[in-house]
Amino acid sequence: MNLSRIVTYLLARRDIRAWQAARTTEQHTLAPGADSLPADLVPTVISGDRRDRVLAEFDQHGALVASDPRDAAIFGQAGRHVERHHHRVQVVLTGGHVRVRKQRILPSPAGVRNRLRARIGGALEAASLIRLAGQVPVPALRDFDAGTGTVELDYIWGNDVRRELAAHDGTTDEDELARRFARLVHGGDPVFAGWIRAVGATTVRCGVAPLDMHAGNVLRGGRTGGFHLVDFNLVVLRPAPGWSAAVRGFARLCGLEPGGDIR
């Protein structure tokens, strides 16, 4: 683990402690966004099942599989399911709300190093969502378990841009999808290009520099058509060592030129 990651983790823990100490403030009680999914639209909830439970699970390619076939109209039905490599990402019903629960998949036995990696990744994601809340379209953080690195956040009802780029031919070739995303960013879609430049600049001003920006990290809301950024477990937080290099890399991926406010 390098110095940048260690310092970013310490900064994340500081931000999370402040957030947890203010759980009754407006930041913690942010209203669900327009693209969040109300529980009352889930068929099994409509039928009367309001238990806390797993509603669906994402596979490696971002496809959702509903736990109950009755919810397939909302979440998707069982089909070809590619197991996730690093994180288990589930859509859950908890306290009457539809959320996403994300936690690192650990080997058995997990060992100290893997458990620490899970805690760090979760903390970085939670702290990024805290810094970006109200400034950048991201899901609201709702809960964080520091012991396991599990984050719980609002579920954005829609599709990621990766799946949209693959839709016309069904490709799963990551290099080809990266090329298609780069074309979008650099003017293939002027609306998207303008959005990602503006959001990228604001993300940096909030002190967050993602290290793995790609099409799977951008969701298009199914109700508004608006875009949302997700997945922040690989980031550098200002002012950790490596911040400037991380910003330069992130700026390029967003079609920005580093300098001025982008630093």
Residues 107-134 have pLDDT tens digits of 778 788 889 999 999 999 999 999 999 9
Residues 195-215 have pLDDT tens digits of 999 999 999 999 999 998 899
Residues 134-154 have pLDDT tens digits of 999 999 999 999 999 999 999
Helix/strand/coil for 187: helix
pLDDT beyond 90 at 258: no
The pLDDT value recorded for residue 78 is: 59
Q: Give the rounded distance of the alpha carbon of 69 from its chain centre.
A: 26
Summary mean pLDDT of the chain: 90
Tell me the whole-structure pTM to 2 decimals. 0.91
Cα separation, 55 vs 74, in Å, equals: 10
Q: Where are the beta strands (DSSP E) in the chain?
A: 53-58, 64-66, 87-94, 97-104, 141-145, 150-154, 158-160, 208-210, 218-221, 227-229, 235-237
Contacts of 33 (CB under 8 A, 6+ apart): 137, 139, 140, 154, 156, 221, 228
Q: Which helix (H) or strand (E) holds 131?
A: helix 111-132
Contact criterion met (CB below 8 Å) for 152 and 142: yes
Q: Which of 243, 25, 41 is nearest to 130 (CA)?
A: 25
Residues 34-67 have pLDDT tens digits of 999 999 999 999 999 999 999 999 887 778 889 9
Split at pLDDT 50, 70, 90, the class of 27 is: very low
Residue 37 CA neighbour count, 13 Å, CB half:
24
